[in-house]
Amino acid sequence: MILNEKSVAEIKARMARYPSKKSVILPALTVAYRQAGHLNDNLYHEISEITGIPSVDIAAAATFYTMFPKHEVGKYLIQVCHNISCALLGADSLIEYLESKLGIKKGETTEDKVFTLISVECLGSCTTAPMMQINDEYYENLTREKVDKILEELRNKA
């Protein structure tokens, strides 16, 4: 069983608040993602066991959304916004910069499994472009200097 007691308790607590228990699918996926770092078939089955919702509904909903990685990712998932406001302010070159700093291409994970780099659609931070989201945090108004500092800090924490 991948989900720990805390996750199971949170899923059950959230499920009890909704008029229809099927609504807990997204919150449950979020809890699972936060604990495990990514989603997979086993987690869909576990959520199905905990909630009594057929696993097909959970898998069908989970694959609809793009926020949850469906394969294992590094400790830090770097999501760079490449939509219009960020693109206008150099998101493409930010991505290139990260690729060169990390030594990987977009979509890949570093060998030490610390960083995964992907580019995503608008993250709702258009006035502070260019920016990126790493796990749950937003890093905005990025410059090369700032990016270097952030990567170093995170590498040290890992």
Tell me which residues touch another protein (CB under 8 A): 17-20, 22-27, 29-30, 41, 44-45, 53-57, 59-68, 82-85, 87-94, 97, 120-130, 133, 136-138, 142-144
With b for 16 or more beta-carbon neighbours within 10 A and e for fewer, the 73-90 pattern comes to bbbbbbbbbbbebbbebe
Residue 64 vs 157, nearer CB to another protein:
64
Q: Which is nearer to another protein, 110 or 128 (CB)?
A: 128
Q: How far is the CB of 63 from another protein (least distance, A)?
A: 4
In the bound state with another protein, the residue whose beta carbon lies nearer, of 109 and 133, is 133
Which of residues 5 and 52 has its CB atom nearest to another protein in the complex?
Answer: 52
Residue with tokens 């949170």: 10
Smallest gap from residue 112 Cβ to another protein (A): 25
Bridge partners, residue 120, by sequence: 81
Handedness of CA 80, 86, 92, 96 (dihedral sign): negative
**Integer CA distances (angstroms), 61 to 55, 57, 65, 68, in order:** 10, 6, 7, 11
- Please state, in angstroms and rounded to a whole number, the distance separating the CA atoms of residues 105 and 99: 5
Measured from the CB of residue 44, what is the shortest distance to another protein in angstroms?
7
Smallest distance from another protein to CB 126, Å: 4
Q: Which residues sit opposite 115 in a β-bridge?
A: 76
